Structure 1
Amino acid sequence: MKAAYIDGHGGNEVVHVGERPLPERTHGDVRLRLHAATLNRVDLYMRDSGAGITHRLPQIMGVDGAGVVDAVADDETQLAPGQRVLLHPGVACGRCEFCLRGDDVLCTRYQILGEHIDGTFAQYVSVPARNVVPLPGGWSFAEGAALGVNHLTAWRMLTTQAQLKAWETVLIFGIGGGVSLAGLQIAKALGARTLVTSRHAGKLERARALGADHGIDSSREDVAKAALAATGGRGVDVVLENVGEAAWPHALKSLVRGGRLVTCGATSGDQPGADLRRLFIRQLKVLGSTMGTVAELHQLLAFCQRHDVRPVIEQSFALDDVHAALSRLESSEQFGKIALTID
């Protein structure tokens, strides 16, 4: 089968498009013929170094994906060949204490497509049947693929971890990126007031068009002061951030007393100042979050259909043009998801 894979670490020179073995389908697995995948920051991380993530080279890239069912077990009753589906990228053991309590995203033997095992920048992938979810009618394959990482991550951050309420205000850092944009869409559908930041005025305008209540230009404004001004000096109830070290002090200073900061990334560094006095005097809560459970993906899909929330696809590239797609993501100029079409 045709796939995009890495055979080392560095830049685009280690990314190749060529033939890879067709994945074997063991009992209980479903093999999918993929038609779309989207790019995520972790794709750049795996290309650049993959440090700290157990993996073997060569490895097929790509975390999320959508396509049609190609092959299933004879006793499979819910999925059938030809059915349009999207996938959950995390493969859990189903037996550890975290899986047994329904928190499979904390599985002690968790494997994520495109990180620990071969991923979705390929014509075919094989995953457990529980990881395969029917694609809503009228959705494109790219929209379905995009749901499995960014929207799922934002959903868990806002609903499970931060428990955002309709009457609250949320500050979202780095609008235009996948998780941040998904967070805006979900927060608005929940009824919350949304403040967003960006260094690009054009991205702030596009975010306002999608419903953002207030934009903060972080290239010329102090984010914390602007967030306090926008809330009458009170501060925001929730901060959603995936930037890390560069955003951390502004995030903490933007919170109301008793507020919650939920984080899923550290692209600017992972060792920020703790600001412990502010943390305990104002009784702030810091919550970590990564991906989401299979159950949360089903909840998210139902929510998106009820509120007509769909991922924003900025641009699509052919699989052969994966270098150009990676370069576009690396530029940080995108607003929405970058997709790969796999034909």
Structure 2
Amino acid sequence: MKAVFLREIGGPQKLSYEEIDKPVPQSDEVLVRMKYAALNRRDLWITYGLYPGMTLPTILGSDGAGEVIDIGKEVTNVNIGDLVIINPALHWGANPHYYSSNFSILGMPKAGTFADYTLVPSEQIFLKPEHLSLETAAAMPLGGVTAYRALFTRGHLQPSDTVFIPGIGSGVALFALQMALAHGAKVFVSSSNDQKLALAKKLGASGGVNYRSEDWVKQLKQLMGGADLIIDCVGGSQFNHLLHIAKPGGRIVNFGTTGGPVPELQLPKLFFKHIDIRGTTMGSPQDFQNMLQFISQHQIHPVIDRSYPITEIKEALTYMEKGGNFGKITIKITND
């Protein structure tokens, strides 16, 4: 079999496509022949060594879908021939509120999905939702469960809520938009790209603003009035604006800092408005199951920006690094 290896840090150009032995499942493991995988920012950060707990060499890739071709003797939840997706959140533990000390994500240190075959514990395997193709199913796991947990488990989204999602265009942000709309909420977005704002409106967003505009906060407040829930992955110097945008008693759920650290948190706005700030990442096994049920119930399809063959993984990650994508970037593993 062939797989994409990272043996030293230095960016996507350090990746190599190598021949290795096909793994054999232990008693509680499942061997999946990968059909599609999908990129996450995590993959890019790992190539630069910008991820905690770096262990090399590794096979990258957290998201993926494919066909079960072999199972261990104790596996009962799937059968050979099943079309499945993989939950990449390993060893979450018994506490639904926070992951265990053994928690890790598929694709580093454990070998990931950028390979002809991927070996995973059976509890990480779920049947592909019937309404999704293998490509769209592969795009769902990491971003989908992150968005679901941010909205529902941590954000307690209500159908009557007004939601603001900064930085629309990433996989998680778009999943959050689609899920919030499916739940009946009204959603507003921001971006530095007017084309992305227009595409978000086509998906159902009620409005959006370009945060490069000097008065973008004022524009947004005029459009939406205020947000009951804000789903943020940006942080940075603009985080204090979210305290102004949030309604009294509002909630801000953060899962990233693409904009860098928050320089000075304006605590008076936080406590005088009784705002909750909550952190989140990935999701528990129950979050993952709930996410699959939700997207099946509402027939949600991931937005795919473009697809690359696995032999062009360097080009795919370089494209992601430029930040122009609107939706997920998928990787085709097989040619059949």
TM-score (norm 2): 0.95
Pick aligned residue for 1:100 from 94, 98, 102: 94
Alpha-carbon displacement from aligned partner over 1:70-95 (angstroms, at most 9, x marks no partner)? 211234332111110001001106xx
Aligned match of 1:150: 143
1:88 aligns with 2:87: yes
SS at match of 1:65: strand
Aligned match of 2:230: 239
Aligned length: 334
Alpha-carbon displacement from aligned partner over 1:87-136 (angstroms, at most 9, x marks no partner)? 1001106xxxxx23445x61210011113322111111111111100002
CA contact (8 A) 1:241 1:247 kept: no
Q: Match of 1:291, as an amino acid?
A: M
How far the C-alpha of 1:142 sits from its partner, in A, is 1.9
1:180 aligns with 2:180: no
Change in 2 beyond 3 A, CA 1:21/1:111 = farther
Q: Match of 1:55, as an amino acid?
A: M
Change in 2 beyond 3 A, CA 1:247/1:132 = farther
Q: Which runs of 5+ in 1 are unaligned?
A: 94-98
1:61 aligns with 2:60: yes
Aligned match of 2:257: 266
CA contact (8 A) 1:34 1:124 kept: yes
Q: Match of 1:258, as an amino acid?
A: G
Pick aligned residue for 2:268 from 253, 277, 280: 277
Larger CA deviation: 153-162 vs 307-316: 307-316
Alpha-carbon displacement from aligned partner over 1:289-315 (angstroms, at most 9, x marks no partner)? 100112211111111111111111111
Whole-Å Cα distance in 2 between the matches of residues 21 and 8 of structure 1? 21
Aligned match of 1:136: 129
Pick aligned residue for 2:305 from 308, 314, 327: 314
SS at match of 1:100: coil
1:324 aligns with 2:324: no
1:114 aligns with 2:113: no
Please tell me the root mean square deviation across aligned C-alpha atoms, in Å: 1.5
Aligned match of 1:28: 28
CA contact (8 A) 1:244 1:272 kept: no
CA contact (8 A) 2:58 2:111 kept: yes
Whole-Å Cα distance in 2 between the matches of residues 74 and 117 of structure 1? 22
Change in 2 beyond 3 A, CA 1:110/1:156 = same
Aligned match of 1:288: 279
Pick aligned residue for 2:162 from 165, 169, 173: 169
Pick aligned residue for 1:298 from 286, 289, 296: 289
Q: Match of 1:91, as an amino acid?
A: L
Change in 2 beyond 3 A, CA 1:322/1:249 = same
CA contact (8 A) 1:55 1:117 kept: no
Q: Which runs of 5+ in 2 are unaligned?
A: none
SS at match of 1:195: strand
Alpha-carbon displacement from aligned partner over 1:128-181 (angstroms, at most 9, x marks no partner)? 111100002242222111211111100000000010111110100111111111
Alpha-carbon displacement from aligned partner over 1:36-60 (angstroms, at most 9, x marks no partner)? 1110111111011134x22321111
CA contact (8 A) 2:28 2:73 kept: no
SS at match of 2:286: helix
Runs of 4+ aligned structure 1 residues displaced above 6 Å come to none
Whole-Å Cα distance in 2 between the matches of residues 312 and 199 of structure 1? 19
Pick aligned residue for 1:250 from 233, 236, 241: 241
Whole-Å Cα distance in 2 between the matches of residues 21 and 112 of structure 1? 22
Whole-Å Cα distance in 1 between the matches of residues 96 and 24 of structure 2? 27
Whole-Å Cα distance in 1 between the matches of residues 20 and 265 of structure 2? 46
SS at match of 2:139: helix
CA contact (8 A) 2:29 2:75 kept: no
Change in 2 beyond 3 A, CA 1:221/1:238 = farther
